[in-house]
Amino acid sequence: MVKKYLVYISSTIDDLKNERRELVKLVTELGAIPVTMDAFSITDKTGQKLIKKAIEDCDYFLNVTAYKAGEPVDTSYALETEFSWAEKRGVPVIALIIDEKARWKASKKEKNPQAAKALEKFKKRLTAVVHSAWTTQADLRQKAQSLLIQEMNLNPRAGWVPGTEAIEPAVANELSRLIRENESLKNRIRMEGTDIASRVRDQMKQALKVLATNRVSLSFWYENGENWENTAKFRYLKLFKLLTPELSVPKTTADISRFLGNVLNPDLDKVVRKDYPTPTNTIKKIMTDLSLLKVVKSSGNGDDEAWELTEYGKETYAAYRMHQMERSLDKSIHPQERAGG
């Protein structure tokens, strides 16, 4: 059954036109449906009802905040109003907040002191949900892709299904029977003492341990360069983390070489060449090693060969991220609270 997630994109419009366009493209590439309400005004009652209904119907709410708060809405502003509607309806929120280090034109910042003050207060409120900071449009796309994939894995939603694929009564009855049978089998497995879930977790831990332990050397070829330069070693775990969002859709060896060349380039004063800025053989070795761990798979041959994340790879990445978030949570708890004081 085809299921698509609806992702509401919330941001101010005039100052973030290019960023919004990039996020609409990204959401579509992920196989989801982007929802924007640019044609409706949040300052009138009819527009508010339509926007609120659109947010309520969505599976995820993607907030992008820069230096504008939006139109005044009652005692608040548009950006925070939409966020409050999503939060009230229980729609999972992903917030992307501009980094203070980002270059930004003064003309694209709030002129109203009251609105600017409300915006800063709202940004602090956003840190209570899944969030990340961004500096450039490319950085925004990468962060949005990573967090969306993470939420879709860890917090799956109902999604949208075409009416032509609605379940008929006979199919629903069979599905119900299979669910009961599945529950019976799971109970039997537990009774027999076979802890499959535990074994899978152990396999994931071992895979992550292998990724964290092993390194690979990468060199870079720059525009107008004559040879490979700046050879450096990188842990496989770092490469896996970087590639996970990219491989949600199939990528060729050339695509991966270009992506890693740009992201890992140690000399930002130089521009890597467009085609294969990192060695082809090394990229193929990395991808083959990841496929041995069953976190990626390949399709096609030669120039048509493409790589993508496996379901096991998604679960492994999700387990890693969950572990990282739990560690961050532990560190944020005051020592007295840990001791029960």
48-55 average pLDDT score: 95
Q: What is the per-residue pLDDT across 269-306, written as a single tens digit (0 to 9) for each?
A: 999 999 999 999 999 999 999 999 999 999 887 777 89
Q: Give the model's pLDDT for residue 262.
A: 94
Which candidate, 263, 261, 220, 248, places its Cα nearest to that of 310? 248
Average confidence score pLDDT of the chain = 88
pLDDT score for 163: 65
pLDDT in tens, 200-255: 778 888 888 999 999 999 999 999 999 999 999 999 999 999 999 999 899 999 99
Domain range enclosing 291: 207-318
Residue 256 maps to a domain: yes
Q: Are residues 213 and 131 in the same domain?
A: no
Q: How many domains does the chain have?
A: 2
**Cβ(161)–Cβ(1) under 8 Å?**
yes
Same-domain status, 149 and 10: yes
The CA distance from 273 to 257, in Å, is 11
Q: Are 148 and 221 members of one domain?
A: no
Single pTM value for the model:
0.51
* Measured distance CA(106)–CA(24) in Å, rounded: 26
Best CA proximity match to 51, nearest among 21, 20, 82: 82
Q: Which two tokens stand for residue 324?
A: 């990282």
pLDDT of residue 178: 80
Confidence of residue 340 (pLDDT cuts 50, 70, 90): very low
Same domain (yes/no): 145, 267: no
Among the residue ranges 14-18, 327-331, 336-340, the one predicted with the least confidence is: 336-340
Identify any residues that bridge with 35 across adjacent strands, giving them in sequence order: 8
Amino acid at 10: S
18 plus 125 within the same structural domain = yes
Whether 20 maps to a domain, the answer reads: yes
pLDDT confidence of residue 136: 95
From CA 245, how far away is CA 233, in angstroms rounded? 22
Query: Of 131, 154, 177, which residue is a domain's last?
Result: 154
User: What is the per-residue pLDDT for 184?
Assistant: 73
**Higher local confidence (pLDDT), 92 or 326:** 92
**Strand blocks (E) in 28-139:** 33-35, 60-65, 72-73, 76-77, 93-98, 130-134
325, part of any domain = no
> Tens digit of pLDDT for each residue in 146-195?
999 999 999 999 888 776 665 566 666 777 778 777 777 766 656 555 55
Amino acid letter, 44: D
At residue 69's C-alpha, the angle toward residues 68 and 70, to 5°, is: 100
For residues 236 and 104, state if they share a domain.
no
Q: How far is CA 123 from CA 8, 66, 153, 279, 333, in A?
A: 19, 9, 26, 42, 22
- Look up the CATH number of the domain holding residue 56: 3.40.50.10140
**Sheet containing strand 6-10, strands side by side:** 33-35, 6-10, 60-65, 93-98, 130-134
161 in helix, strand or coil?
coil
User: Where residue 250 sits, what CATH number does that domain have?
Assistant: 1.10.10.10
149 and 211 both lie in a single domain: no
Question: Radius of gyration over alpha carbons of the chain, in Å?
Answer: 23
* Same-domain check for residues 232 and 112: no
Can you give the pLDDT at residue 336?
53
Does residue 48 lie within any of the structural domains?
yes
